[in-house]
Amino acid sequence: METCMISNKVSSFSYYHTRTISARINLQKIQVTKLSIPKLPNRTLVAELNNLNDYTLKNNSIVPSQNSKEVVKLHLIMEMISDRIEMHKNIGIQRDSWNKLLLSSINMMTLSASTMIGLAAVASAGAEASFIALKVSSTILYMASTGLLLFMNKVQPSQLAEEQRNAVRFFKQLQEEFRTKIALENFDENDVNEAMEKVLALDKAYPLPLLGSMIEKFPENVKPAKWWPEMKKRNRKHQKENDGKSNGWNLRLEEEMKKIVMVMRNKDMKNNLKLSEKVLKLNKILAFCGPLLTGFAAFGSVFLGSVNASWPMMFGIIFGALASVVNTIEHGGQVGMVFEFYRTATGFFQLMEDTIELNMNEEDYLKRENGELFEIKVALKLGRRVSELRQFSFEDDDDDNVCEEFASKLF
C-alpha cells in the first residue's frame, strides 16, 4: 500500500516537472519583435481639408470631384452673403431706431414750444424777462423741429428700415438656394456666375449708404421693386431624372401657367400698384404739411408780443399741435414702410411673371425647370395648394372671369 502511494507521487512530480521544462523551452523560442507605428504626414488640417475637397464619396468609394472649384466658389459667395446679412440687419435696426427717436424728439420739442407760447401769452406785463425767454425758446424749438422734420421726411426712416429688412430676407433666400444646389450637386460654372450677378443686383437694389445712392422716396412714377438681374436663357444639364422628353411639362400645365400670369398681371399687380400710388400721395401730403405747420407756428412765435393781436399766439399753439398730429400719423404710422411693402409686393409678382415666361419661352423642355417641381414652387409662393392652382386652367378666356379672384393669397 505504501509502495503504491510513493509510486503515484513520483509519477505526478515527474509529469509536472516535464510540463514546466517544455513551457520554458517554448517561451525561449518566441521572439519578441518591436511594433512599428507609421509616421503621419506633416500636414496641417487646412491642407487635408483642401485635399478632400477634390474628392467625393460615390458607391462607397472615393472618386475625384468634378465640381470642386465651383463648390469653393459657391462657399466663398455664401460667406460674402452672410456678411451682407449682418450688415443689412444692423443697419435696419439702426434706422428703425432713428424713426422712433426722431419721432419722439420732434413731438416733444413741438409740444414744449406750444406750451411755452401759452405761458408767454399769459405772462404779466412786469415779467418782461420771462416773456422774452419763453418767446425765444419756443421760436428755437419750432425752427429746430422744422429742420428735423425736413430731414426725416426726406429720408423716411421707416421706409429705410423696411428696405434693409427686405434685403436681409432676399439674401437669406439666396443663401438657402446655394445650399440646396451644393447639397444636390446640381450646379456648374454658369450657376457661379449667376450667383454673383444676383448678389450684385441685391446690392444695387438695396444700398447701404444714404448719400448718393439712396432710393428715391417720392418718385414721380411708381415702379415695382427689382432686386434680381436680367434673366437669360442658358443651357441646363440634362439629368437622368427627367420625366422622359417632357421634363414634367404638358399642355395642361402650360395653360395653367399662362392663366396665372394673366391673373397676376391684371389683378394682383394692378391692385398693389394702385395701393402704392395712394399711399405715396398720402405720404407726400403729410411730408409737405408737417414742416409747413411747424413753420407757421415758428412764424407766430416770432411775432408774439410784437403786434397788438392774438393771431401770433393762436398760430404758435394751434399749428404746433397740428404739426404733432401730422408727424405722428406719418412716422408713427410708418406710411413710408407701407409704401415700400406694396412696392416690394408688386416686384414679387413681376419676378414670378418673368420666371414663368422664361420657362414658357424655352422651346426645349429639357432646358426648362422640372414641370412638377415648378408647379409646386409657384403654388407655395402664391399661398395655394397645387389643386387650387390647377383651377386656373379651367377658367374661361374671358378677362372678367379670369380676374374674379386674386392669384396670391399672401398679398
- CA 30-34-38 angle, to 5 degrees, is 145
**Start-to-end Cα distance in the chain:** 115
Report the mean per-residue pLDDT for the chain. 82
Mean pLDDT of 130-159: 94
State pLDDT tens for residues 39-76.
Answer: 444 444 444 444 444 444 444 444 445 457 888 999 99
Query: 373-378 long-range contacts, Cβ below 8 Å, gap at least 24?
Result: 373/248, 374/248, 375/248, 375/253, 375/256, 378/257, 378/260, 378/352
Mean pLDDT of 263-269: 92
C-alpha cell at 214: 439712396
pTM: 0.78
C-alpha cell at 243: 420625366
CA distance 364 to 4: 107
State pLDDT tens for residues 307-343.
Answer: 888 899 999 999 999 999 999 999 999 999 999 999 9
CA distance 141 to 324: 13
Q: Is the pLDDT of residue 281 over 60?
A: yes
Mean pLDDT of 186-197: 87
pLDDT, position 212: 80
What residues contact residue 63 under an 8 Å CB cut-off, 6+ apart? 55, 56, 57
What percent of the chain is modeled with pLDDT above 70? Answer: 77
Of the pLDDT bands very low, low, confident and very high (cuts 50, 70, 90), residue 403 is: low
pLDDT, position 63: 40
pLDDT, position 211: 81
pLDDT, position 308: 83
pLDDT, position 190: 87
What residues contact residue 28 under an 8 Å CB cut-off, 6+ apart? none
Selection from 269, 206, 196, 207 nearest residue 229 by Cα: 196
Of the pLDDT bands very low, low, confident and very high (cuts 50, 70, 90), residue 364 is: confident
Mean pLDDT of 120-144: 85
Of 20-24, 63-67, 207-211, 352-356, the range with the highest mean pLDDT is: 352-356
State pLDDT tens for residues 87-130.
Answer: 999 999 999 999 999 999 999 999 999 999 988 888 755 578 88
pLDDT, position 122: 81
Of the pLDDT bands very low, low, confident and very high (cuts 50, 70, 90), residue 245 is: low
pLDDT, position 121: 82
